[in-house]
Amino acid sequence: MPRDRPLLEFGPVPTLPPPSYAAAHDDEEEKDAPPRRWFHYFPTCFTVLFILAPHPSWMIVLTKYHLGILHDRQSFAQHVFVTYTLTALALASLFTIIVTDPGRPPANRGRNDDNEELDFTQALLADDLDISSPGKWCRKCWAPKPERTHHCSHCGRCVFKMDHHCMWLGYKCLGHRTYTSFLHFLLCVTLLAVYIACVCVTAVYYAFTNPLTIDEHTPLHEMSLSLGGIILTMVIGPFLIYHIYLTSTNQTTLENLSPFLLLRQLPPLPPQHQSERHRLSDPPLEHELSFNQRRLVRDAHGYVRLYDIGWRKNWSQVLGYEGPFGWVHRVLVGGGGTGDGMTFPRNPQADELLVRLAAELVDADKIS
C-alpha cells in the first residue's frame, strides 16, 4: 500500500531579503512618536508665560523709578512703547509658527489641488522619482521626498526644508514656511531681553548710589529683571547668532549637524577594484566608510555648501517678499521663505567639489 502523504508539507523557509538601498541610507528610521496630546503644549504655555511674567515687575520699575524719582515721562513712554511692541511682535511670530503649516509634499497631503485622491502611480510619476534611491522617497509617508525635505518622527510627516522640531514653539517643526517667523521670534525675544536688562542695570546702579531716594522693594525688581535679562540674552543670543550664520550660508540645522548627508549628493564614483578593502556602494553608505574616508567627508562638510549662493541671495531666499508692501508682513510676524519649498538654487561650485570628494573617497580606500 502506498504511504499516506502528510496532511501538511513545509517547504524550505524563505530567507528575508536584504535591506533595500534606501533603507540603508535612510537616517530617519526611528519609530514615529504617538499622536500629539494636550500635555505636549505645556512647553509652549511656559514660553508664553516666560515672555509675559516679567511685565508686572517691569511696570513697577518704570513707575517707581522713571516717574516717581526721575519724573521723566518721555523715557517712561519710550520704554513702555519699545518693550510692549517687542512683546507683541514676539507673540505674533509665535502665533504664526503655531498656526502655519511648515510645508509638506503634495502626495503627503493625500489630495491634489483638485481635491481628488492622489494614487500611488500619480505619486511616482509626479517627480519621476525612484523609490530605491536614497533621500528621494519617504518609506513612512509613502510619498516623494523633495530635496531638503526630511521626515519628522515627532510629527509623523515630512517637512519642507526641515530645520528642527521644537517643543517650545507649539510642538511643531520649523520648516520652509515657518523658519522666517522663527528668526523673527528669536530676534524680538533677544532684543526685549537686552533692552530690559540695560534699563534695569542703570536703575540698579542708581539705587546703590542713591539708597535714600528709593524704597527697599523696587531694587529687588530691578535686580531680578537685570539678572533675568542677562541670562536670557546669554541663552537665546548665541542661538540667534547661530541661525544668522545658518541663514547666511543657506543651511538648515539638520544639514549643518549631519555631514554624511553629503553622501546622498555624490556623483557616480570612479571605478573601483574588487580587491579594495572597503569597496563602496554607489553612492556610499555611511557605515562602509573607513576612518580616513569619514574624516574626508567631515572635512568636506566644512566647505561644500550645496545651496550657498551668496549671503545676499541667501537672505533674500529666507526673507524675500512679494509686492510693494510685503516687508510689512515680515516685520510684524516674520512669514515664510520664497519658492515652493521643493526646489532650491544650488551653488554652482558644489558639483565640482562633490566630484573631487568622490575621487578622494576612492583614493583613500586604495591608500588604506
Active site residues: 166
Contact between 335 and 92 under an 8 Å Cβ cutoff? The reply is no
Phi-psi region of 143 (alpha: psi -120 to 50; beta: other; left: phi over 0): beta
Question: Helix (H, G, I), strand (E, B), or coil: what is residue 78?
Answer: helix
Q: How far apart are CA 245 and CA 139, in angstroms?
A: 32
Q: How far apart are CA 304 and CA 137, in angstroms?
A: 24
DSSP 186-220: HHHHHHHHHHHHHHHHHHHHHHHH-GGGS-SSHHH
Angle between helices 73-99 and 179-209 (to 10 degrees): 150
Question: Helix (H, G, I), strand (E, B), or coil: what is residue 356?
Answer: helix
What number of helices (H) and strands (E) belong to the chain? 13, 6
- Count, residues in the chain: 368
User: What grid cell was written down for 176?
Assistant: 520652509
Secondary element (H or E) of residue 157: strand 157-159
